[in-house]
A and B are shown apart, each in its own frame.
Chain A
Amino acid sequence: MSRAGGTWVGARVPRNEDARLLTGRAQFVEDVEPPGTLHVAFVRSDLPAGRLRRLDVERARSHPGVHAVFTAGDLGPLLHPGAMLVPPPPLEGLVFHARTALPLVRHRIRHQGEALAMIVADSRYVAEDAAQLVEADIEPLDPVVDLGRALDESTPRVHEDLPSNLAAHVRQTKGDYAAARARADLVLERRFSYDRGIGGAIENRAVVAEWDARADRLEVWDTTQAPIPVRNVVAAALGLSESQVRFIAPFVGGGFGPKIMFYAEEILVPWASIRLGRPVKWVEDRYENFFATTQERGQLHRAEIAVTREGRILGVRDIFIHDSGAYDPYGLTIPINTQCTLLGPYHVPSYESEFRVAFTNKPIVTPVRGAGRQHGVFIMERLLDLAARGLGLDPVEIRRRNVIGPEEFPYNHEIMYQDFAPLRYDSGSYEESLEEAVRLVGHETFPRERERARADGRAVGVGVVNYVEGTGIGPYEGARITVEPSGTVRLATGVGTQGQGHFTAFAQIVADAVGVAPSDVRVVTGDTSDFHWGTGTFASRGAVVAGNAIHAAALSVREKILRHAAEALEVDPEDLELVNGAARVRGAPDLSVDLGALAVRANPLRGAVEPGTEPGLEATSYFGPPYGTTANGTHALVVAVDPETAMVEILRYIVVHDCGTVINPTIVEGQIHGGVAAGIGNAFYEELVFDEFGGTSNASFMDYLLPTSTDVPPIETAHLETPSTLNPLGTKGVGEGGAIPVAAAFAQAVEDALADIAPGLEVLDIPLSPGRLFDLLRTRRESRESHAESAGGPS
């Protein structure tokens, strides 16, 4: 493939990585098995709350094939609580109690699946056989399960040293909500619950560690989204120099957030390898994943909107409780995302938002694709729908009257975001994206379509909702680009890759700057021996933060290429262009020199390199944005509801989105399709079910329902490109946007479809399972029947 100079960014370049991925040649952690590898199984608590009175591992230790059984008592200096990964932002009046877990339980069990012992054996089979021989004497404690009661005084405490289950309390306000409310023509209040589920990556977590005693080096293969920070924590914990520890995050089968966390297994497996002098491998199984990997879960909101007769928002008040699970290592990222994203693309002159975070005896909650933004978007979009209904306005019309206009950027929302910076929008296309979605879904003519479907006995409805997504936050990422003597261009960056197409999108950025095809750029991500500065893949920031670091490094390399080429060809650098892997003189294409030759020239074996210059065609650059850049979009969908079975079918799904500069439309659409699929799961299928004893009742893919290919419709996408003003490429993140507004769109569309059959039906709780919809329909039906009776009965 070849293109005229400088236009790879924006092109539908086929993915460099697909040949390896699709032919099964890509390396995943599960594929790594050095000779002599031992295998780990963890003994995990079935109970969500309890006191570990005694742990008898003797029978397991003497089981044939078992090499070691470790309990908390064996860990020595490793037995201290895990890292507090993301401290809360410095907010006024903040209450925050940091609690993180021990690598193995010593006394107190706080959620199902906490690890009690680690078994190392010849095979995973033997390790699991031995796990059954471990006898744990656990005194069960009353578990904290119900989020609504978690903060009650009478509820038992998850952390016995705290006065209550309150993990955090935050209040942020802007304007004067009380005054706005007093002035409003309509004030509506509702209670909402919004539940979310697991990340559900196709590859569970896995760690393989090999201690090389002769080289005095530790090599760790890990499914992490953050190889560099994890490497640094592990080196520190094991008393090794960072340079002795190499972390490799190879191809990873999906991250979605939970793999950004730091986990005890990431220390325990390397530690065991050092102790036993053998490679050690642990691969999480699907069952463990439901407890041992972090997840998202519910929030309970009481929210109120105050509007004028014309439907203009005067203010919003939202009070909510967020379930943190047993610990809070990731600080307040999720609830702050909820709090900030609620404001969306709208003018909200006054806002009162207050949340409490509760500890419960459930697995730990940390960001999953969307990371709390869904909750906020759902509340705001629902409030607008209810207000529109109350005022007799069309849902699209009330949105038109409140979106921030194109001339109002940068727009400041006056509260603080998760990156410790004020919530500011750099640029956006809120009106345009709404109108484009309205046009694509045929909103104007939809009433006729609805009538026609109804005549066929089908209830169809439409939903149109907006969202913004804070993306591309700091602190920084870096990249190093090297032209090799072969002419191959090598790029190394610290972020890990979990299927995002980094090997292609990053290559396109480089290709434009140095005049090669993307397929000639060899990309290395997530290997600390290649690049060891950076934070990781999260918050839809790869293309923004790493992308712009790559862009900067590529421009520096370009400078070096031009300088060396100008010398070699004895021309002015201004007269050169970089095309097809060579520097050539404009208008005289025969006068040219290959990049490979220039790389040799830049790294001579004899002679003198000029003082003050560096050898090679290589450059390293870093990029850190001042604050996050905000993407936006509108989702529109059409559903058909069978009011008898309460089953919902999606007939059309439309995404209009704006992530600034699009590097590769195919990859962006892939991100959107995956995001929408996750959103559909969240809106309709996925729910973690906890029984009264705090146990997860559906810890398998038989009962935890991920949407499959038959449940996700074709998705129509339209790209708008309003460049970010915060980085040279103009990129914004797109990794999470697809997942964020789906439930809000669903709710609006289902209500619309049932407007005649069950007028007044309100969808306030997500997921909207058919069972839940059936209950809503039945309640509406019963209340109508009782109305009809009392109206028609004797007075």
Chain B
Amino acid sequence: MKPPPFDYVAAADLDEALEALADASVETRPLAGGQSLVPMLNFRLAAPERLVDLNGIDELSRIEETEDGGLHLGAMVRHRQLERDPLIVRRTPLLAEAAPFIAHPQIRSRGTVGGSVAHADPAAELPAVFLTLGARVRIARRSRDGESGSRAERTLALDDFFLGPFFSALEPDELLIAIEVPPSTPGEGTAFDEVARRRGDYALAGVAARMRLNSGGVCEEAAISLVNGGSTPCLMREAARTLVGAEPAPEAIGAAAAACAETSEPAADMHASEAYRRHLIRTLTARVVSRAAARART
């Protein structure tokens, strides 16, 4: 359980990191919190020739309000900050509610939001939570031959980002630099819950939900996404749509939960069968959506 040899570059700023990634002759991987990458190296499941360490790049750690009142989270914002940063806790309580379910405090102090999203693990909490919030990712790379300027950036809806298990839309020369969460609107309630074998374990199944009610208590918008509900972090559009246009009564929520369970594609593994996962998805969806609805009402 020792990593194979690799070169190490401590990038002082974003351009230096992008520079290193742009050199296609050396297989290079960004190193963020290292909480997923280092175990993979130690198990020799990954053997990049070079690591470019992002921990020294200040601009990637920024937490800011965006012009439209949303939230800009630099890629290197730590999980722990999601629980503690006053701006985050106030703006998007869903992040603060979900973050404590990720691993243990030591790991949350190192692990980063960018690393978690870039890793594209269907069992991770944050991808599902950011999907529920309608987040976008900002991606940068060094300009390729013929392009003007030194840096190229693009923004993707998170929904278009996850392509498969541990597989995202990032190109080898690209870096995820920030996640942007749109502002929350009045009448919105969110909730998160999961079932894990032990506190801090990856969830057997988890559910994040967001719901907006009008002043009459009718649901105008709903989003549900699942942790470990399929091969990628996934939004459950059909199920969420059934809630729109009516009051979120227990029967309606129960039906949405059943639809969620039916259309999800959970995998079986040593910790849970497919049937058990589906059952958990149904139970948790009902609980979480009810809670989001109750919060939207107050």
Q: Do A and B come from one complex?
A: yes
Which 3 A-B pairs give the minimum distances between C-beta atoms?
A: A710-B199, A285-B1, A689-B270
Cβ of A603 within 8 Å of any chain B Cβ, yes or no, is: no
Cβ of B241 within 8 Å of any chain A Cβ, yes or no, is: no
A260→B283 CA distance, assembly (Å): 47
Q: B283 to chain A: which residues have CB within 8 Å?
A: 644-645
A98→B291 CA distance, assembly (Å): 62
Cβ of A154 within 8 Å of any chain B Cβ, yes or no, is: no
Selected from A285, A644, A710, the residue in CB contact (under 8 A) with B198 is A710
CB distance from B119 to the nearest CB of A (A): 14
Closest chain A residue, CB of each to CB of B270: A689
CB distance from B145 to the nearest CB of A (A): 36
Cβ of A697 within 8 Å of any chain B Cβ, yes or no, is: yes
CB distance from B146 to the nearest CB of A (A): 41
Query: For residues 122 through 147 of chain A, which have their beta carbon under 8 Å from a beta carbon of chain B?
Result: 124-125, 128-129, 132
Cβ of A70 within 8 Å of any chain B Cβ, yes or no, is: no
Cβ of B44 within 8 Å of any chain A Cβ, yes or no, is: yes
A771→B43 CA distance, assembly (Å): 28
Selected from A287, A705, A707, A710, the residue in CB contact (under 8 A) with B1 is A287
- Judging by beta carbons under 8 Å apart, are A645 and B280 in contact? yes
Closest chain B residue, CB of each to CB of A691: B270
CB distance from A694 to the nearest CB of B (A): 15
Q: B271 to chain A: which residues have CB within 8 Å?
A: 703, 769, 771
CB distance from B41 to the nearest CB of A (A): 11
Cβ of B197 within 8 Å of any chain A Cβ, yes or no, is: yes
**Which chain A residues have a beta carbon within 8 Å of chain B's beta carbons?**
124-125, 128-129, 132, 285-287, 644-647, 685, 687, 689, 697-698, 700, 703, 705, 707-708, 710-711, 769-771, 774-775, 778
Closest chain A residue, CB of each to CB of B4: A129
A287→B42 CA distance, assembly (Å): 10
- Judging by beta carbons under 8 Å apart, are A774 and B2 in contact? no
A280→B286 CA distance, assembly (Å): 59
A771-B271, A775-B273, A778-B275 known; A132+B197 contact, CB < 8 A? no
Q: B279 to chain A: which residues have CB within 8 Å?
A: 644, 774, 778
- Judging by beta carbons under 8 Å apart, are B198 and A705 in contact? yes
- Judging by beta carbons under 8 Å apart, are B199 and A708 in contact? yes
- Judging by beta carbons under 8 Å apart, are A685 and B197 in contact? yes
Cβ of B5 within 8 Å of any chain A Cβ, yes or no, is: yes
Cβ of B22 within 8 Å of any chain A Cβ, yes or no, is: no
A707→B44 CA distance, assembly (Å): 27
A711→B199 CA distance, assembly (Å): 8
- Judging by beta carbons under 8 Å apart, are B273 and A771 in contact? yes
CB distance from A174 to the nearest CB of B (A): 41
Closest chain B residue, CB of each to CB of A704: B270
Cβ of B238 within 8 Å of any chain A Cβ, yes or no, is: no
- Judging by beta carbons under 8 Å apart, are B199 and A646 in contact? no
CB distance from A690 to the nearest CB of B (A): 10
Query: For residues 13 through 35 of chain B, which have their beta carbon under 8 Å from a beta carbon of chain A?
Result: none
- Judging by beta carbons under 8 Å apart, are A129 and B273 in contact? no
Q: A128 to chain B: which residues have CB within 8 Å?
A: 1-2, 4, 44
Selected from A124, A129, A707, A769, the residue in CB contact (under 8 A) with B5 is A129
A288→B200 CA distance, assembly (Å): 25
Closest chain A residue, CB of each to CB of B276: A774
A-B contacts besides A128-B4, A700-B43, 4 pairs, CB < 8 Å: A128-B1, A705-B201, A710-B199, A771-B271
A479→B44 CA distance, assembly (Å): 48
A700→B42 CA distance, assembly (Å): 12
Residues of B contacting A: mostly: loop
A417→B227 CA distance, assembly (Å): 51
A184→B2 CA distance, assembly (Å): 62
Q: B89 to chain A: which residues have CB within 8 Å?
A: none
CB distance from B249 to the nearest CB of A (A): 20
Q: B198 to chain A: which residues have CB within 8 Å?
A: 685, 705, 707-708, 710-711
12 inter-chain pairs at a CB distance below 8 angstroms, sorted by A residue, are: A125-B2, A129-B5, A287-B43, A645-B284, A647-B195, A685-B198, A697-B270, A700-B43, A703-B270, A705-B197, A705-B201, A774-B273
Cβ of B255 within 8 Å of any chain A Cβ, yes or no, is: no
Query: For residues 52 through 100 of chain B, which have their beta carbon under 8 Å from a beta carbon of chain A?
Result: none
Query: For residues 258 through 272 of chain B, which have their beta carbon under 8 Å from a beta carbon of chain A?
Result: 270-272
Q: A132 to chain B: which residues have CB within 8 Å?
A: 4, 44
Residues of A contacting B: mostly: loop
CB distance from B153 to the nearest CB of A (A): 35
Q: B4 to chain A: which residues have CB within 8 Å?
A: 128-129, 132
CB distance from B262 to the nearest CB of A (A): 17
- Judging by beta carbons under 8 Å apart, are B272 and A771 in contact? yes
Closest chain A residue, CB of each to CB of B5: A129
CB distance from A184 to the nearest CB of B (A): 39
The digit string for B196-233, where 1 denotes a CB below 8 A from any CB of A, is 01111100100000000000000000000000000000
A431→B158 CA distance, assembly (Å): 65
CB distance from B33 to the nearest CB of A (A): 16
Q: B2 to chain A: which residues have CB within 8 Å?
A: 124-125, 128
A711→B197 CA distance, assembly (Å): 10
- Judging by beta carbons under 8 Å apart, are B273 and A698 in contact? no
A689→B44 CA distance, assembly (Å): 22
A286-B1, A685-B198 known; A646+B43 contact, CB < 8 A? no
Selected from A645, A687, A698, the residue in CB contact (under 8 A) with B195 is A645
A409→B43 CA distance, assembly (Å): 56
A770→B198 CA distance, assembly (Å): 11
- Judging by beta carbons under 8 Å apart, are B195 and A771 in contact? no
A685→B270 CA distance, assembly (Å): 12
CB distance from B2 to the nearest CB of A (A): 5
Q: B204 to chain A: which residues have CB within 8 Å?
A: 770
A710→B276 CA distance, assembly (Å): 24
- Judging by beta carbons under 8 Å apart, are B199 and A770 in contact? no
- Judging by beta carbons under 8 Å apart, are B276 and A771 in contact? yes
A190→B275 CA distance, assembly (Å): 27
Closest chain A residue, CB of each to CB of B202: A702
CB distance from B263 to the nearest CB of A (A): 20
A774→B204 CA distance, assembly (Å): 13
A700→B275 CA distance, assembly (Å): 25
Q: B1 to chain A: which residues have CB within 8 Å?
A: 128, 285-287
A685→B3 CA distance, assembly (Å): 29
A708→B279 CA distance, assembly (Å): 26
Q: A710 to chain B: which residues have CB within 8 Å?
A: 198-200
A769→B270 CA distance, assembly (Å): 10
A125→B6 CA distance, assembly (Å): 12
Closest chain B residue, CB of each to CB of A125: B2
Closest chain A residue, CB of each to CB of B283: A644
CB distance from A221 to the nearest CB of B (A): 21
A106→B43 CA distance, assembly (Å): 27
CB distance from A560 to the nearest CB of B (A): 53
A644→B261 CA distance, assembly (Å): 14
Q: B43 to chain A: which residues have CB within 8 Å?
A: 287, 700
A644→B276 CA distance, assembly (Å): 10
CB distance from A43 to the nearest CB of B (A): 13
A217→B43 CA distance, assembly (Å): 38
CB distance from A704 to the nearest CB of B (A): 10
Closest chain B residue, CB of each to CB of A705: B197
Q: B199 to chain A: which residues have CB within 8 Å?
A: 708, 710-711
Q: B5 to chain A: which residues have CB within 8 Å?
A: 125, 129
Closest chain B residue, CB of each to CB of A684: B197
Closest chain B residue, CB of each to CB of A711: B198
Q: B44 to chain A: which residues have CB within 8 Å?
A: 128, 132
A477→B290 CA distance, assembly (Å): 65
CB distance from B267 to the nearest CB of A (A): 13
Q: B195 to chain A: which residues have CB within 8 Å?
A: 645, 647, 770
Closest chain A residue, CB of each to CB of B205: A645
Closest chain B residue, CB of each to CB of A124: B2
A703→B198 CA distance, assembly (Å): 11
CB distance from A588 to the nearest CB of B (A): 61
Q: A711 to chain B: which residues have CB within 8 Å?
A: 198-199
Q: B280 to chain A: which residues have CB within 8 Å?
A: 645
CB distance from A332 to the nearest CB of B (A): 31
Q: B275 to chain A: which residues have CB within 8 Å?
A: 774, 778
CB distance from B290 to the nearest CB of A (A): 13
Q: A707 to chain B: which residues have CB within 8 Å?
A: 198
Closest chain A residue, CB of each to CB of B47: A132
